[in-house]
Amino acid sequence: MKYEKQSGVPAFECTEYREKTSEYAVLIPIINEGERIVKELKRAYHYGIYQYADIIICDGGSTDGCTNEKRLRKLNVNTLLVKQDEGKQGAQLRMGIWWALERGYKGIITIDGNNKDSIEDVPRFIEKLKEGYDFVQGSRFIKGGKAIHTPLLRLLSVKLIHAPLISLTARRRFTDTTNAYRAYSAEYLTDERVQPLRDIFMTYELLAYLSVRASQLGYRTCEIPVTRAYPKKEKTPTKISFFKGNSELMKILIKNLFGAYQPK
């Protein structure tokens, strides 16, 4: 089924493989992730994640065959959403969030599709949502978390720049703020003071904004331990270029600090 572009939501095509089976959804934004997303979905299948949450692929327009329908069905993916509009990760997440809220999920978990994260920990995020938390950040840097083969420059940038700036903006300490593995309650996402479905969120702005808005508004937030493992002898899987990408990310952090993404 095709959905036309609307305010805050890009045009996209939706293929439902199954009806809604859970109160929670896992959104996985991808673009040409190849075998990485296949391995991640196989892990999810092995650990029975589909028994806890509906898995929704939020594709940015992959052309490498990683969204093969037969394979997605076999691995118990619930729905494939394919963006047919401008924008990158932020647009993919807005597409997925809109779809999930329309479907009536109580909570949404997001995770990268490059097989770096411990997707087997999804039930722990759901437990926290059920306990009444509205924003749950996965962290490899707290007790029980594991950071495996993290590139040195990335480690330093998270600990010395990104986490301090996000923590300052959020008015509470977070330790692993570049990590897209997190959960949100529907109540948080639908609060008129949040409004995540806005076209201003095209790239990484949405993740930065949602990291801080919950605690600013007094919602319950927490971190839980997760594992993030980078491949030891392969190119680091990332969509952020070293110079241009990191420069844009810094601009986003500064704008976020000064409230540029808050609803007017």
Domain map (residue ranges) of the chain: 11-257
pLDDT tens figures, 146-159: 999 999 999 999 99
Helical H segments across 5-88, by residue range: 35-46, 69-74
Predicted TM-score (pTM) of the model is: 0.94
Q: What is the pLDDT of residue 232?
A: 82
Spatial separation of the C-alpha atoms in residues 201 and 98, rounded to whole Å: 13
Q: 11-257, superfamily in CATH? A: Spore Coat Polysaccharide Biosynthesis Protein SpsA; Chain A (3.90.550.10)
Instruction: Find, among 82, 94, 24, the residue nearest to 54 by Cα.
Output: 24
- 131 within 8 A of 123, measured Cβ to Cβ: no
- What is the amino acid identity at position 27? L
pLDDT tens figures, 46-69: 999 999 999 999 999 999 999 999
